[in-house]
Structure 1
Amino acid sequence: MLAYYQPTAAGTWQGRIDGEEPDVRRWHQVIQPVNISHHPLPALPAGRKGIAFLGFACDEGVRRNKGRTGAAAGPLALRRACASFPVHFGAHALVDAGDVVCTDGQLEAAQEVLSATVQHILQAGYLPVLFGGGHEIAYAHERGIRRHSGAQQPGIVNFDAHFDLREPDAAGPGSGTGFWQIAQERAQAGQPFHYLALGIQQNSNTPRLFQAAETLGVQYLPASLFQLKYQERLIGAIQAFIRQNDNIYLTTCLDVFAAAYAPGVSAPAYNGLIPDALFLDCFRTVLRSGKLAGADIAELNPAFDADQRTAKLAASLVFEIVMNYYSTLAV
């Protein structure tokens, strides 16, 4: 594990300070960095919840997918964008468990470490919230949840312009193959593959990928449905999918959003989703289901992020995850 793990560097979490009183504290003042290669995650007091952030500083999958590399720097940028958020969750625990890194091109080895670390976080009683990195994070994250869940295999909700159902080519598995890999492993184990993709773009997926989605029984809602007149249909489909599953793995690829809001991704989309109230209703429907087993944000690429727009958008999604998990956000 040590070759693919790095604790978060001292001084990473910095931001505005208004005082040390509980009602003015910010995330950087309360987060607990833990080097999990040396120390276990702190035990949670009775009645308290905990979230563990874990970075996946890797874009080897993006490179194999012939995309714009740079997402390996995403976890650091996302931590910095989150640092000054105000604390609205009282004494619940917020932990930074460091990064799984991939500096030698051995994606599969790094993914194995990520899966094992996710499993460790869940066993300690924390919710894993992962900062990517390329969308190759999905295969490893879901596998860690699956190993922990046993008979209760997670349903997958993916906000994404792409299905990511390609079969690996000579370059090997990458950022576009994760859900195909999951489907194959589920089939080999005799387990169902429940996958809901939200925000799919016809101009970003080949007919072969649409056929793969049909063959594998994937449910999807295209980006064109994200209009207020289809709100009931969207929310109803998400709620129905949640009811079919014991728990939910939520992953968000930032290229699902329009490039004006998310320029810092591998594959920006001029006509992607707008992160407005309709999107948040859909996102919060998953978060407030009581079934969340893990969540991640993928494809943040600071090298192309004008005015840190993408990092700030990603941070706002992390804020939603944290606040809804701790059940203190007013409806």
Structure 2
Amino acid sequence: MKELWNGRFDSNEDIDLRLWQVIKEFSKESANKPGICFVGYNTDDGVVRNLGRKGAEGGSNAIRKAMQSFPAVENLALYDYKNLKSKVLEEAQDEYSSKIAKVIEKGIFPIGLGGGHDIAYGSYRGVRKAYPDKKIGLINFDTHLDIRPYDNGPSSGTSFKQILDNDDNTAYSIIGYKKQGNTKRLLETANKYNTLILDEEYEENYIIENIKKFISGVDVVYITFCMDVFDAPYAPGVSAPTIMGLDPKKGKRILREIMKSGKVVCVDFAEVNPVYDIDSRTAKLAGALIYDIMLNMR
């Protein structure tokens, strides 16, 4: 695991331990006990197909590096299912979705590390494999609806249309939506699928109240973060930086309320692009949100 995790060392005493010292490789023998497993989605093939900025294939390792020296969390097992064998979008989604399903079936909580936002279709497929009959609530923290047509093949912008076209037992909500990032056609497509659209400008309690109602109507919840949802100074290392995007602390508080539902079964973080990052701000923000999830796991 040292090729992925190798941080600051104080000692091997429990009181000094950091994440890199306690994380283990996920395997079939991994214990069925409360824990988190990171699954790398180190491809940006979908971003390139969507005419975005290349570089997000390095996002998985950048997030790991941002977290590796965080203090270990007591009584929380930590695993890593490593990165992908193939970076071709369709093959990557197949491999990644199988990993997500295996982690869930072990009773361990998966957190995907991306990579392009086509990770969303892979995460969904993994959740669906693990919960074949459950209604899945899709919560997308994103500036963009990512509901583009895929007549010419999938990309980082097509995941939610792919899901909604083929699975009636799902519901879709977006938090952090901005009008400047979505055409009238995309908005009309989202409305056709009864998407709950929560604008970045909406007051925090209003967002929380409405997302709780959304969650009450589904069985399990999958959360995905496209890091371009956040204001550009906090998340410059993305394919499409957002001016006047979501405030990270507001996003963190909303995430905490969603996690309290007890229905969340998978979270992922996409579009971290270290090529364009500044002082690893974007990777560190993703890492901080992940650590908050770890600290508040039920």
Partner residue, 2:117: 135
Q: Alignment partner for residue 65 of structure 1, among 50, 53, 76?
A: 50
What are the Cα deviations for residues 190-227 of structure 1, in whole angstroms up to 9, with x where unaligned?
x33311100111000000000001101111111111xx
Partner residue, 1:100: 84
Partner residue, 2:28: 40
Q: Is 1:251 aligned to 2:224, yes or no?
A: yes
What is the CA–CA distance in structure 2 between the aligned matches of 1:315 and 1:131, rounded to whole Å?
10
Partner residue, 2:257: 285
Identity of counterpart residues, as a percentage? 39
How many equivalent residue pairs? 298
1:169 deviates by 4.1
* Counterpart AA for 2:176: G
Q: Is 1:49 aligned to 2:34, yes or no?
A: yes
- What is the SS of the residue equivalent to 2:39? strand
Equivalent residues of 1:41, 1:121 under 8 A apart: no
Partner residue, 1:78: 63
Q: Alignment partner for residue 245 of structure 2, among 257, 272, 279?
A: 272
What is the CA–CA distance in structure 1 between the aligned matches of 2:198 and 2:15, rounded to whole Å?
41
Equivalent residues of 2:134, 2:169 under 8 A apart: no
Partner residue, 1:152: 134
What is the CA–CA distance in structure 2 between the aligned matches of 1:140 and 1:199, rounded to whole Å?
22
Equivalent residues of 1:193, 1:216 under 8 A apart: no
Relative distance call for 1:127 and 1:41 in structure 2 (3 A) is: farther
Equivalent residues of 1:238, 1:285 under 8 A apart: no
- What is the SS of the residue equivalent to 2:111? strand
1:101 deviates by 4.3
Q: Is 1:178 aligned to 2:162, yes or no?
A: no
- What is the SS of the residue equivalent to 2:143? coil
Q: Which runs of 5+ in 1 are unaligned?
A: 1-8
* Counterpart AA for 2:82: G
- What is the SS of the residue equivalent to 1:99? coil
Q: Alignment partner for residue 181 of structure 2, among 204, 209, 215?
A: 204
Equivalent residues of 2:81, 2:99 under 8 A apart: no
Equivalent residues of 2:39, 2:113 under 8 A apart: yes
| Root-mean-square deviation over aligned CA pairs | 1.3
Equivalent residues of 1:60, 1:102 under 8 A apart: no
Partner residue, 1:313: 285
What is the CA–CA distance in structure 1 between the aligned matches of 2:96 and 2:39, rounded to whole Å?
9
1:116 deviates by 1.2
Q: Which runs of 5+ in 2 are unaligned?
A: none
What is the CA–CA distance in structure 1 between the aligned matches of 2:86 and 2:44, rounded to whole Å?
8
- What is the SS of the residue equivalent to 1:252? strand
What are the Cα deviations for residues 115-144 of structure 1, in whole angstroms up to 9, with x where unaligned?
111111111111110100000000011111
What are the Cα deviations for residues 169-197 of structure 1, in whole angstroms up to 9, with x where unaligned?
43x100000000000110xxxx3331110
* Counterpart AA for 1:182: I
Q: Alignment partner for residue 210 of structure 2, among 228, 237, 253?
A: 237
What is the CA–CA distance in structure 2 between the aligned matches of 1:91 and 1:233, rounded to whole Å?
34
Equivalent residues of 1:57, 1:101 under 8 A apart: no
Relative distance call for 1:322 and 1:305 in structure 2 (3 A) is: same
Partner residue, 1:6: none
- What is the SS of the residue equivalent to 1:245? coil
Partner residue, 2:94: 112
Partner residue, 1:299: 271
What is the CA–CA distance in structure 2 between the aligned matches of 1:41 and 1:115, rounded to whole Å?
19
* Counterpart AA for 1:32: K
* Counterpart AA for 2:162: Q
Q: Alignment partner for residue 193 of structure 1, among 143, 167, 170?
A: 170
- What is the SS of the residue equivalent to 1:100? coil
1:292 deviates by 1.0
- What is the SS of the residue equivalent to 1:13? coil
What is the CA–CA distance in structure 2 between the aligned matches of 1:302 and 1:11, rounded to whole Å?
18
Equivalent residues of 2:59, 2:272 under 8 A apart: yes
1:12 deviates by 2.3
Equivalent residues of 1:32, 1:94 under 8 A apart: yes
Which residues in structure 2 correspond to 1:6-25 (within 5 Å)? 10-25=2-17
1:27 deviates by 0.4
Equivalent residues of 1:153, 1:247 under 8 A apart: yes
What is the CA–CA distance in structure 1 between the aligned matches of 2:185 and 2:170, rounded to whole Å?
19
Q: Is 1:163 aligned to 2:145, yes or no?
A: yes
